[in-house]
Structure formats: structure tokens, C-alpha cells
Structure 1
Amino acid sequence: MDLTGLSFWMFCSSTECKGEEKVTQPPGDVILTQGQTATLMCTFTTTSSDSYLFWYKQEVNSYPKFILTRSLHYSYNSPEFVKDRFDAELKDSSVPLMIQDLHVCDSAVYYCATQTFPH
């Protein structure tokens, strides 16, 4: 099974990105076998205390599917990605995605994103 986190996404709340919000994922593939637990890393920098972090899954020839979002005061998983298998904990400047009991259908590219809401 080949689970990958190859890229990063960045969303900005204004029409112009000024480099204040940034997410970074390590390059390369994560190769695991069925039944194992994957931990996909994502680190971020932000100037706001009101940032939301998102994870998406993109399978071959498909669009990115929303998995979950985390912030200091909010936690939500898409119904398709139940929390007992897909979970993330916001820790300082990282939000690693844990996928437990891996299935072959978990093979995809996983993207981390951030969004800051203006006050």
C-alpha cells in the first residue's frame, strides 16, 4: 500500500497571500501495509490565533475530498471519514493526520491546508 503526502495547499483569507499563513508537508511517499497506522505530518505557521487546519484526500482521477478540520476550539470529521480511523490533534504548530487500521482504499495523496478567518 502506498500512502503519500507529497504536496501542500495554502488558502488565504484575503485576495492577496502575504506569506503569513503557510503549511508544509514532508516530501516523498509513506509506504505501509494493510492494518497498520499511518501518521502524515503537517506543520504550519500563522500570525493568527484563529486558524483552521484541514486535511483532504485525493485519489487518482478524482477531486480532493474533505476529511477533517481542527482549530483551537473546533473539531469536525466528514461523515465519510469517521474519527475512529481518521483523526488529527492540533499541537502547537503541527496537525498530524493519523489513519488507523489502513485499508487498500486509503491509498491516495493527502493534503494539509490552513485558513484564517478575519476578525
Structure 2
Amino acid sequence: MRPEKDRQSGKEGESVTLSCKYSTNSDYIVLYWYRQNLNQAPQYLLYKGARSSSSVEHSTSKRFKCTTSRDSTQLTIEALTMSDTAIYYCALRVAQ
């Protein structure tokens, strides 16, 4: 997996969308998003299934929305706050 951009920014109260590209032959995949604030452990935000697993999803906040396509996933963070300043990670798991 790889991010489409190294850095992104937004203004407080607005929304921002982060995107990752991925490549796999599996039709049963789940995509995860995490964030890591300075000097803290990574924090789970959400997961969403893609392809044949598209009905699978969970989010820790209504502010975090995820969309997926055949080769990418997007995380939209709504109503930005300063605490959203972090490093964001996307990850892929092949579901069984």
C-alpha cells in the first residue's frame, strides 16, 4: 500500500480526504486506517471491506468516513480539529 500524497492539510471545521493505493489479487480484503499522534502509539480509526467484502465496516467516530474502490481507499475526516494533526496509516488484510 502507498499513500497518494505524502502531506495534506486542512482548516479547522473543514473536511480533508486522505487516499491510499493498493494492489492484491484477492477479492476478500479489509482496509484499515490508523493515526499516530506525536509521542503516542498508533490509534485504530476504522475498517471497511472492499471488493467481495464490501458490506463489512466499523468506525470509531462518525467524523471518519471511508470509501473503497478496486485499487484504493479514501479516509475523509470531517469537522477537523487540531487533535487530527497526526501521521495516518492505511493497511490491508486479506479476509478469509
User: Scaled by the length of structure 1, what TM-score is found?
Assistant: 0.72
Root mean square deviation, CA, Å: 1.2
**Equivalent position SS for 2:11:** coil
Alpha-carbon distance in 2 for matches of 1:28, 1:90: 19
1:61 alignment partner in structure 2: 39
Q: 2:73 — aligned with what?
A: 95
Residues 1:73 and 2:51 are matched in the alignment? no
Runs of 4+ in 1 over 6 A off after TM superposition: none
SS at match of 1:42: strand
Residue number in structure 2 paired with 1:17: none
In 1, distance between residues paired with 2:37 and 2:57? 24
Of Structure 1 and Structure 2, the greater strand share is in 2
Task: Say which SS state the counterpart of residue 31 (structure 1) adopts.
Answer: coil
Structure 1: distance between partners of 2:58 and 2:16:
20
- Of 69, 72, 83, 1:105 maps to 83
Matched residue count = 92
CA contact (8 A) 2:5 2:19 kept: no
CA-to-partner distance for each residue in 1:39-74, whole Å, 9 max, x for gaps? 001111111111110000100001111000010120
Distance 1:48 1:109 in 2: 28
- Where structure 1 has 5 or more consecutive residues not aligned to the other structure, the ranges are 1-22
Matching residue's letter, 2:34: Y
Structure-1 separation of matches of 2:74 and 2:9: 16
